[in-house]
Chains A and B, each alone.
Chain A
Amino acid sequence: MRSNKGFYGDYGGQFVPEILIPALDELERAYNDFNGNPGLMDEFYRYLGEYAGRPTPIYHAKNLSEKYGFDCYLKREDLLHTGAHKINNTIGQAMLARHMKKKRIIAETGAGQHGVATATAAALFGLRCRIYMGSVDVERQMPNVRKMKLLGAEVIPVEEGLRTLKDAISASLRDWVTNVEDTHYLLGTVAGPHPFPEMVASFHAITGREALEHFQGMGFMPDTVVACVGGGSNAMGIFQGFLDMPLVKLVGVEAGGRSLGPGDNAATLTQGTRGIFQGALSYLLQDAYCQVQDVHSVSAGLDYAGIGPQHSYLKDAGRVVYTSVFDDRALNAFHELTRLEGIIPALEPSHALAWALDNAGGLGGTRVLVNLSGRGDKDLDIIEKQGGTQ
């Protein structure tokens, strides 16, 4: 999704310290070179195929469909190398880092999926790698921390604020300001300053293209496409395949957390107001004193007060409907998919599925495509703490 000089309507921009501006300009140039260079694009798609496992299948989930009365299709991003969609973006940006001759990459991570995917790409391309992760997330996503370390990344627990994703991004920005000469900040979602939203969305566009081609091959389109929304990258990935098909309804599902009260959720697009946060003007969960609101979600990857600017634009334009589901409904969907289909999803896309299952009445007889953005191995500790099997 192309921006107008870094803006989508009113949203986007480059709200970062001045010292980063030349680095953002350099990144934009490198990204444009990359797009215009068939050799590099070929290499990128070769890695996505031979290394990451693209294209991913679309599975018609028969048991779920039968029980809930609508045709449920799953885009199986959970089958990708490292277990989530994040690898599309990390391979793309690691290639850009190489192109810009940066020797070191840093990244934030919430659920640890982006951290693992970054550490993986760093190993592949021979880059030094440091991952910032809120200490609360380090604790709740330990399997991913172990993987990052095995892959050779240094994992720095961040002890500030709520010790979750926002704090990891702030710590990454501070590192980048300090080490901008030799370091690329490999941001993990469609948030942050231009050109990140546009660039990350373009690396993920392949998900939507594959889905579109799949349905074209079958001779019909889904009626609804659903994705979970943290910063918004997997959702942008799949939505881009269908944005210009007005008959396909697009639904973005954020974390409703414990309740819709302030501090209890991460439902930025339905509960937030416009603000400037971590590089972009977008919707933001903030309090009456212009301070960033505390957030909560059972899912570390959705636990974020901000949102990529493209989603704010798509909300205002009315092209995507944004909504939220509560923690307990996401957990219910997690168990439903696990028991009915033998697929253990990550807690993040469990939110997308939960929206579909909980609205089955209205979806009856229609085709619903859920972007299954990642698998749930990382979440087993949380599931057990929440009462384990149901």
Chain B
Amino acid sequence: MKGIYLAGGYPDIDTFTESARAVVASGFDFIEIGIPFNDPIADGPVIARAIYDSISSGVTPAQVMKCIAGFNHAQIKKYAMTYANIIYSFGIRKFSEEMAGYLDGVIIPDLPNRMARLFYDSGFEIPIVPFATLETRESDIKMMNESASDIIYFVGLRGITGARSDFTSPELLDKIGMIKKNTEKKVIIGFGIKNSIDAGKAMAIADGYVVGTEAVLRQNDPAELKKYLGSLRQ
């Protein structure tokens, strides 16, 4: 499960759509599309800047949701990545009703596993992707397994998007081992993958990875992005 994160609507809707096509054409298994929120506490400077830029140029969550809905390539899985307020204030049930047919899951960095219930209880029917981290305790995994999501999103570092993971650290290897032992779901490493070497290391220890910051850096130039995506898959 190899995936790419793109900041939805950045730098503009057309260029973004072209970049998203490049992800499909490059043979990735999933795409994670960011719906912009202007307090992106889990994002580092590159992704945060892209989000602020798209919002100040007038991109709205509804526009990005429309892009996701229009983007019906059967060969690629789609996840939306956004912050809790976007879904909550748009309307938990309304978001779910409008998007359930188009999404394999949502990734909400400020909705920890124990808070997901609040969304489900309010009528949210899209799988919410559980998070595992370096701090995850074995007792936390039960809750993750109850999710309808096909993947677990493993944050392999203490930090925000744009930082680098150390795929040789015993702590990380132990933690992934513990998680994989306790779940059937695919464990995807998010955060900290920059190039094909990192990607290779991630595939050696987990079931997949997602690249964000390095893709977003090239998002305003789909040709350049395509070259980079090719290099990643080597």
Chain B CB within 8 A of A177 CB: yes
State which residues 160-199 of A face B: CB under 8 Å: 160-161, 166, 170, 173-174, 177-181
Query: Nearest-CB distance from A239 to chain B (Å)?
Result: 27
State which residues 121-175 of B face A: CB under 8 Å: 131-137, 140, 155, 158-160, 163
A15-B84, A181-B158, A291-B55 known; A21-B39 Cβ under 8 A: no
Q: Are A19 and B85 in contact (CB under 8 A)?
A: no
A16: chain B residues within 8 A (beta carbon): 41, 110, 112
Which single residue of chain A is at the shortest CB-CB distance from B63?
A289
Chain B CB within 8 A of A3 CB: no
Q: Which of B112, B114, B159 has the most CB of A within 10 A?
A: B112
Q: Are A289 and B60 in contact (CB under 8 A)?
A: yes
B39: chain A residues within 8 A (beta carbon): 161, 166, 170, 277-278, 292
Query: Nearest-CB distance from B4 to chain A (Å)?
Result: 21
Give the docked Cα–Cα distance between A292 and B111 (Å). 17
Query: Nearest-CB distance from B131 to chain A (Å)?
Result: 4
Chain B CB within 8 A of A275 CB: yes
B136: chain A residues within 8 A (beta carbon): 18
Q: Are B37 and A173 in contact (CB under 8 A)?
A: no
Which single residue of chain B is at the shortest CB-CB distance from A24?
B112
Query: Nearest-CB distance from A207 to chain B (Å)?
Result: 30
Interface size on A, residues (CB 8 A): 36
B90: chain A residues within 8 A (beta carbon): 290
Interface size on B, residues (CB 8 A): 41
Q: Are A13 and B160 in contact (CB under 8 A)?
A: no
Query: Nearest-CB distance from A43 to chain B (Å)?
Result: 30
Q: Are B41 and A13 in contact (CB under 8 A)?
A: no
Q: Are A21 and B89 in contact (CB under 8 A)?
A: no
Give the docked Cα–Cα distance between A275 and B89 (Å). 6
State which residues 253-303 of A face B: CB under 8 Å: 273-279, 281, 284, 286, 289-292
A318: chain B residues within 8 A (beta carbon): none
Q: Are B158 and A17 in contact (CB under 8 A)?
A: no
Give the docked Cα–Cα distance between A13 and B160 (Å). 22
Query: Nearest-CB distance from B142 to chain A (Å)?
Result: 14
User: Of B38, B83, B84, B131, which one neighbours A18 at CB under 8 angstroms?
Assistant: B131
State which residues 11-50 of A face B: CB under 8 Å: 13-23
Query: Nearest-CB distance from A26 to chain B (Å)?
Result: 10
B163: chain A residues within 8 A (beta carbon): 178
Chain A CB within 8 A of B42 CB: yes
A13: chain B residues within 8 A (beta carbon): 115, 118
B210: chain A residues within 8 A (beta carbon): none
Give the docked Cα–Cα distance between A180 and B136 (Å). 13
As a 0/1 sequence over residues 298 to 315 of chain A, the CB contacts with chain B under 8 angstroms (1 = contact) are 000000000000000000
As a 0/1 sequence over residues 90 to 120 of chain B, the CB contacts with chain A under 8 angstroms (1 = contact) are 1000000000000000000111111100100
Give the docked Cα–Cα distance between A21 and B113 (Å). 9
Give the docked Cα–Cα distance between A279 and B84 (Å). 10
Q: Which of A160, A166, A278, A284 has the most CB of B within 10 A?
A: A160
A-B contact pairs, 13 of them (CB 8 A): A14-B112, A17-B133, A18-B135, A170-B41, A174-B44, A174-B159, A178-B158, A274-B88, A275-B89, A277-B85, A284-B89, A290-B37, A290-B88
Nearest 5 CB-CB pairings of A with B:
A18-B131, A290-B89, A19-B133, A276-B84, A276-B85
